[in-house]
Structure 1
Amino acid sequence: MDRVTDLLEPGAAASGPRTTGEIPKPDPERRPVPLWLAAVSTTGWAVLTGMGPLVAVILLVWVADSSNGSRAVDAFRVGIGVWLLAHGATLQVGGVLVGLAPLLVTGMAGWQVVRAGANAARAVGANGLAMGAQVVAAVASCYTVVGAVAAVAVLGSPAQVPVLPAVSAVAALGLLGSAIGVLRVPDIRRDLLRRFPAPMLSVVRAGTAAAVAVLGAGAVVAAAGMVLNWQRTVTLMAGLDDGPIGVIGLWVVCVLYVPTVAIWGASYVLGPGFAVGAGTHVGLSGVALGPLPAVPLLGGIPAAAAPWPAYALLALPVAAGVGAALMVRRSHPGAATVPRFASAALTGLVAGVLLAAAALAAGGPLGSARLAEVGPSGWHVGVIGGLEVALGAVGLVGFEYARDWALRRWAGSRSEKPEADPVDSADSAEQPTEPVQPVQPTEPIQSVEAEEPAEPTLAQSTQLEPTVVEAAMVEHPEGVEPTADTEIPQA
């Protein structure tokens, strides 16, 4: 009881350990953990937290639906197969080929791998790219081994996957996630940033921000479609007759595919659109659809071409490009015009590559017949999205260049124009100008004091006598000496 009271004291929180969601920083006094131990422990925890919730949900559905006649081990292996599907593998369930990845599970698994890479790097005390590369190799290798074991474990189950493609997909996600996680360590990140020029890093950052903005706009458009076409969603839900367990399971599937539909919305905003079956197309300019699967998430798909005000959606990627150009300018405000044009174009290239990768991840088959082609085209989305983002970025740089050029020309024309009164200049042109006479230097005028002079003293009178004599001699230039008749004024 005293222990609980101490914990509830106001000062206890400041003095005792505090639990937060942040990854703790390494203690410099703690001995580093061996690399193999750090990789195995962090990767095992990543697999457990990434696969565990998915398998648990599938087992709960199996328990609730006791009339299905399947075994618990089969439900467990189906959960493993769905985990592999989230990594990009192709899953075959009951003769139906499924290759459309639930990107929500993909994001959760990728985030756990990122944490595994960061924790392993901190545990071994990695402080440079060389040690960071070793951590990435160790974590990715452990994750690949787990993927291979999982692919072999589902053989012969209701959910089967090709082993080699599944292992390759797991290895790719493990490599990418662990590399991002290792870069979360400040020392390794600084070591990497020193090896790349700062303008290139700002371009990558701006292009990534533009791609994320386009994907966010796609998510908003997809949600708006669900709201506007709610009647179709209700109709699709009314067609479900699998009982409450089947309805719950279908809604769980819809939640797992929400990020996938958001990427479809981004493809719709960019212009290329997407397909929901072979020979179908959903875009701003037109819609050609067949029968849709009874999935409530597909109720937001438009049934006809968009009205003309909806074409304003095409301005969203351009606006994302403008924002990317502003980010680059803020990072390097004094850059010259030509490098700014090049940076703007490269921003569109980075955004296009990321959008193409997202479109590829959001596509795949949902069957072997008509639904063998579902999702957007990766290279269409990448090319058109990159061009639209580059158009916004290059357009802003061109506008600022034209504005600065016009301001310089206007300022130059004002500085060359003479600042004179037109009336005075006209009058001065009619009247002839007189030659200017040189000014004779004048002697300075001594100020005369108004006060009466005081009587000179004896010493002053003796000093005045030579002056008076000199004045008298000036009056007789012939050099005649003054006679006795000459009166010399007394002082």
Structure 2
Amino acid sequence: MAAATAAGIGLAVIVTLTMVGWVAAPHDTFGEEIVDLLQGAVLAWLVGHHVSFSVPEGDISLLPIGLVLLPGLLLYRSGRWVARNCEIARLRHVHRAAIAIAGPYAAIAGTLALLARTDTVEPSMPRALLMGFVIAFLAGGLGVLRQLMRDKGVVARDLLGLMPARSRSLLVGMLASTGTLLAGGFLLFLVALAVSLPEAVETTRLLAPGWVGGLLLLLIQLAYLPNAVVFAVCYALGPGFAVGEMTVVAPTGVSVGPLPLLPMLAALPENGAAPVLSLAALAVPFVAGAVGGVLTQRSAPDVVSEAAPLWGFVCGVTTGLLCAALGELAGGSLGGHRLSDVGPSAWQVGLVAALEVGVAAAIAAWVANWWYTRRSPAAATTATAATAATAGAPAGDAPEPEAERAGRVELPADVPVGEGLATVTPLRPREDKGGGVAVEEAPEAPAEDAATAGPTAEEERERKERERAERAEARAAARAARAADRERKREERRARRAERPRLWRRRAAEDDSEDLYGITYEAGPDEADGPRP
């Protein structure tokens, strides 16, 4: 039901927009064009799922990324509806609900790809199945997860806390670097469009779309806006992008031919040398790398300073892989002949992004890690106290217990401590059991505080001794049970060997020597004594 509802509402919206465009344009009688109209609406719905199609002149694969927002939002709401109406016990079962939505949705997309086929247009059915499943799985699963988190009172920070510290830091760094690149590309596109605004206005005047056509033209350009932002990112990285065969738009130079009449294409620079103002965009990947490297080490600093640049470079590599995927998604073909190659080269964009962002992130991660670890434990303690005071809880409200304060070991000033660093646990000597090192006993509490001090030191020692004796008895019983089980299995093996027909017999000593024994180490720390060495 969720998959069918999302597909039906999305198709209804596309059909409505198609009907508006048909009414605003010159047309024949409605009865003669109804089939073509519905097929065009279904094709537009498939384009919204990034499904390419073939025409007699070639393939149409330069599709608007922004149009994916419509099915994504509908599937997100359908996922939340599924979470509210189905019993999903745990967050780890989200993928089951996502698959339950994605399977029927992919089947609907494949069926519509078959229905939209004509003599001149043929959508790719395998791509319809794949993209329908992927979009429904991601958007629907995200909706299910969001609703479950809301119902169970789980915040995103707690969900990220389930990830390992290093994986979480790399994810944060990669998203920060990619977000900085996209923000820089968006700013570059806006500046280029503002500079060429008179040309864009003149192109719109030549098209003369009218009010309805102008609104549809604006929607089409907004749908292609993410593609333009990715193209601008590729320009800032250096490889640039193509606007047809034998063309290039890069900082090294611009060479383009005749272009379709689309107002947003006025942002492309003129043929010749690249504008001097646009060369400032070359600093964007290095800024993105610096941001990603700092955030990578902020959440998980390294005690070994040589490891910080390595993780910063890994952040750059993952950012390069994501940029390559975005470049592949944004580019494509607009039929045959000259516009058969539009967009960036995915592998070149990924390689250059990995190097530029990775080097900048490595340097920034090393500096950030040095800055974090140079602080002494005293400075970290002061920062913790300041944080507690800011939150409204004075640091002195929870005094440290006397026993912990007496047994605490002062660490050297050059040992880095803090969140994400190596945990340093002080080891205490055990009580003397006939020749061992004795622990200095804590001073007895005053007599007037005996009623509120709890059990005395003697009672506490007796309780510990009883617990140790009980654990020792349990371990001895477990060892005896394991020994009896091994002896039983040994007798069974001997009995089976004795029943087999053999040409020769081994000696008993050789039989015993074949048995393997496992050693179990009982190394669990005592709850009251703290960790043992």
The worse-fitting range, judged by mean Cα deviation, of 393-402 and 320-329 is 393-402
Contact 2:293 2:363 in 1 (8 A): no
Which of 251, 271, 291 is equivalent to 1:323? 291
CA distance in 2 between partners of 1:194 and 1:83 (Å): 38
Contact 1:117 1:177 in 2 (8 A): yes
Query: What pairs up with 1:419-430 in 2 under 5 angstroms?
Result: none
**Which letter maps to 1:136?**
A
Which of 147, 151, 157 is equivalent to 2:113? 151
Which of 90, 114, 127 is equivalent to 1:128? 90
CA distance in 2 between partners of 1:352 and 1:183 (Å): 28
CA distance in 2 between partners of 1:114 and 1:377 (Å): 32
Give the structure 1 partner of residue 244 of structure 2: 277
Does the alignment pair 1:206 with 2:173?
yes
- Give CA deviations for 1:250-271 in whole Å, capped at 9, x if unaligned: 3332222111111111111111
CA distance in 2 between partners of 1:171 and 1:130 (Å): 20
Give the structure 2 partner of residue 23 of structure 1: none
Give the structure 2 partner of residue 57 of structure 1: 17
Contact 1:240 1:247 in 2 (8 A): no
CA distance in 1 between partners of 2:28 and 2:329 (Å): 32
Give the structure 2 partner of residue 106 of structure 1: 68
- Give CA deviations for 1:324-368 in whole Å, capped at 9, x if unaligned: 222223323564323422321221122222212211111111121
Which of 192, 197, 207 is equivalent to 1:230? 197
Contact 1:128 1:191 in 2 (8 A): no
Does the alignment pair 1:392 with 2:332?
no
Give the structure 2 partner of residue 296 of structure 1: 263
Does the alignment pair 1:85 with 2:47?
yes
Contact 2:39 2:116 in 1 (8 A): yes
For residue 281 of structure 1, report the CA deviation from its aligned partner: 0.6
The worse-fitting range, judged by mean Cα deviation, of 243-252 and 42-51 is 243-252
For residue 203 of structure 1, report the CA deviation from its aligned partner: 1.1
**Which letter maps to 1:220?**
L
Query: What pairs up with 1:369-380 in 2 under 5 angstroms?
Result: 369-380=337-348
**Which letter maps to 1:203?**
L
CA distance in 1 between partners of 2:73 and 2:176 (Å): 19
Query: What pairs up with 1:287-436 in 2 under 5 angstroms?
Result: 287-303=254-270, 304-308=272-276, 310-333=278-301, 335-400=303-368
Contact 1:359 1:381 in 2 (8 A): yes
Contact 1:356 1:378 in 2 (8 A): yes
Query: What pairs up with 1:65-80 in 2 under 5 angstroms?
Result: 65-68=25-28, 71-80=33-42
> Tell me, which stretches of 5 or more residues in structure 1 are unaligned?
1-39, 409-491
Name which one, 1 or 2, has greater alpha-carbon Rg: 1
Query: What pairs up with 1:151-230 in 2 under 5 angstroms?
Result: 151-156=113-118, 159-184=121-146, 185-186=148-149, 196-230=163-197
Partner of 1:293: helix, strand, or coil?
A: coil
* C-alpha spacing 1:294/1:309, structure 2 compared with 1 (3 Å): closer
For residue 194 of structure 1, report the CA deviation from its aligned partner: 6.8
Partner of 1:71: helix, strand, or coil?
A: helix
CA distance in 1 between partners of 2:327 and 2:359 (Å): 20
For residue 307 of structure 1, report the CA deviation from its aligned partner: 4.0
Give the structure 2 partner of residue 29 of structure 1: none
After superposition, the CA RMSD in angstroms is 3.0
Partner of 1:337: helix, strand, or coil?
A: coil
* C-alpha spacing 1:55/1:287, structure 2 compared with 1 (3 Å): same
For residue 398 of structure 1, report the CA deviation from its aligned partner: 3.4
The worse-fitting range, judged by mean Cα deviation, of 179-188 and 361-370 is 179-188
**Which letter maps to 2:180?**
A
Contact 1:208 1:354 in 2 (8 A): no
CA distance in 1 between partners of 2:67 and 2:185 (Å): 19
For residue 290 of structure 1, report the CA deviation from its aligned partner: 0.7
For residue 217 of structure 1, report the CA deviation from its aligned partner: 1.2
* C-alpha spacing 1:169/1:401, structure 2 compared with 1 (3 Å): closer
Contact 1:359 1:378 in 2 (8 A): yes
Contact 2:289 2:361 in 1 (8 A): yes
* C-alpha spacing 1:107/1:379, structure 2 compared with 1 (3 Å): farther
* C-alpha spacing 1:112/1:212, structure 2 compared with 1 (3 Å): farther
Contact 1:147 1:170 in 2 (8 A): yes
CA distance in 1 between partners of 2:280 and 2:87 (Å): 52
Contact 1:65 1:245 in 2 (8 A): no
Give the structure 1 partner of residue 5 of structure 2: 45
For residue 238 of structure 1, report the CA deviation from its aligned partner: 4.3
For residue 384 of structure 1, report the CA deviation from its aligned partner: 1.4
- Give CA deviations for 1:438-476 in whole Å, capped at 9, x if unaligned: xxxxxxxxxxxxxxxxxxxxxxxxxxxxxxxxxxxxxxx
* C-alpha spacing 1:382/1:180, structure 2 compared with 1 (3 Å): farther
* C-alpha spacing 1:332/1:406, structure 2 compared with 1 (3 Å): closer
For residue 72 of structure 1, report the CA deviation from its aligned partner: 2.8
- Give CA deviations for 1:229-268 in whole Å, capped at 9, x if unaligned: 2233234334436776655543332222111111111111
Query: What pairs up with 1:438-477 in 2 under 5 angstroms?
Result: none
The worse-fitting range, judged by mean Cα deviation, of 394-403 and 355-364 is 394-403
* C-alpha spacing 1:182/1:297, structure 2 compared with 1 (3 Å): same
CA distance in 2 between partners of 1:109 and 1:372 (Å): 28
For residue 66 of structure 1, report the CA deviation from its aligned partner: 4.4
For residue 313 of structure 1, report the CA deviation from its aligned partner: 1.4
- Give CA deviations for 1:11-60 in whole Å, capped at 9, x if unaligned: xxxxxxxxxxxxxxxxxxxxxxxxxxxxx2x2233223433322211111
TM-score by length of 2: 0.62
For residue 214 of structure 1, report the CA deviation from its aligned partner: 0.7
* C-alpha spacing 1:157/1:174, structure 2 compared with 1 (3 Å): farther
Aligned length: 368
